[in-house]
Amino acid sequence: MAEEEPELNGEQKKDIAKWFLLNSPAGEIQYVAKDLKKVLNDDDVYNEAASEAFPIYNKTHMIRLEMPCRAGDVLITSYGELDKNEFLDPRTAQVAIVDHVKQVCKEARPATDEELPSPYIEEFRCALEAEMLKYVAEAYPKGFCSVYCTNGKDVEEPGSNFELVVVISAARHSPQNFCNGNWRSIWNIEFRDDEQMLEVKGKLQVGAHYFEEGNVQLEAKHECRDSTIFQSPDDSALTIANIVRQHETEYLASLQESYSKLPDATFKDLRRKLPVTRTLFPWHHTSQFSLTREISKELGIGK
């Protein structure tokens, strides 16, 4: 007689539930949470798992929330986090107070002087934000960006180093068409006054989930570096925006090239040379499969 598996305790159930929540595809955590709640059938375990997982998920995916009274939108990122439920929107100088589990902004308040950069730093930050907003509007129709000061926000005049970070988040959620995805990029810019140089470091990440007639997920990451000379706020902002545009365009082009090779290369690597049916796979007709067809359509390949 087979030995029965011991029942999981509350802590183990919470850890498993938390894992599923944290690994939810872009824009799908609420669906996963709804199913988990039914499976667990234990509100205490679910609430504990959700309270731990949602803040991490929201910051990792850099979700965008609308603030009350049309005060603007705020990105939920670790760079703007003032407290566990408070996030700074530098552009409007507002602090959003959020409910992580419901993924809504409950209220907003004006930021204090201590929470904002000095006028000298703000000049650089505002100039960079203006250029990045233009770029994001062109490159990502549903994108949003924020620019934060992560180091040296109290610097009052030239002569000291400081650091800004540009965060770009764009999501496309289309569950009715069985696909969701997002783009996230983080650009750290070190303003080295002593060397009169700017050091630029980028981290780019793409996530996608396609689940019609299958279940396919993509997670792609890329890092890059660049540098330029330290200039005036407006000139520095324009140069940084051009650097970001160049690297992101090149990376997107490389992804598109990879997808164009899906039928001839990637699919072959995923299949047995001779399936168990003993029938060769029809490689010359891979366009009939909906995944290839849909990806090609989205990227404009083969038109």
Give the residue extent of every domain in the chain: 8-60, 62-116, 117-260
- Cα-Cα-Cα-Cα dihedral of 25, 31, 34, 37, to 10°? -20
CATH of the domain spanning 62-116, picked from 2.40.10.10, 3.30.1140.60, 2.60.120.260, 3.40.50.2300: 3.30.1140.60
Superfamily of domain 117-260: F-actin capping protein, beta subunit (3.90.1150.210)
Phi and psi at residue 261, in whole multiples of 5°? -95, 5
Residues in the chain, how many?
303
pTM of the model: 0.84
Distance of CA 24 to the CA centre of its chain: 13
CB atoms within 10 A of CB 25: 23
Quick check: 197 and 227 in contact, CB under 8 A?
A: yes
CATH number belonging to domain 8-60: 3.30.1140.60
Q: What is the pLDDT of residue 216?
A: 83
For residue 278, pLDDT beyond 70: no
Do 8-60 and 117-260 have matching folds?
Answer: no
CA 171 to chain centre: 8
Q: What is the mean pLDDT of residues 11-40?
A: 94
Average pLDDT over residues 146-167: 96
Rg over CA atoms, the chain? 23
HSE at residue 55, side-chain half, CA atoms within 13 A, is 15
Report the candidate in 131, 120, 87 with the shortest Cα–Cα distance to residue 106. 87
The predicted-structure confidence for 79-137, as pLDDT tens digits, reads as follows: 999 998 999 999 999 999 999 999 999 999 999 999 999 999 999 999 999 999 999 99
Give the pLDDT confidence of 188-231 residue by residue, as tens digits: 999 999 999 999 999 999 998 988 877 888 889 999 999 999 99
Task: Please indicate whether residue 281 or residue 231 has the higher confidence score (pLDDT).
Answer: 231
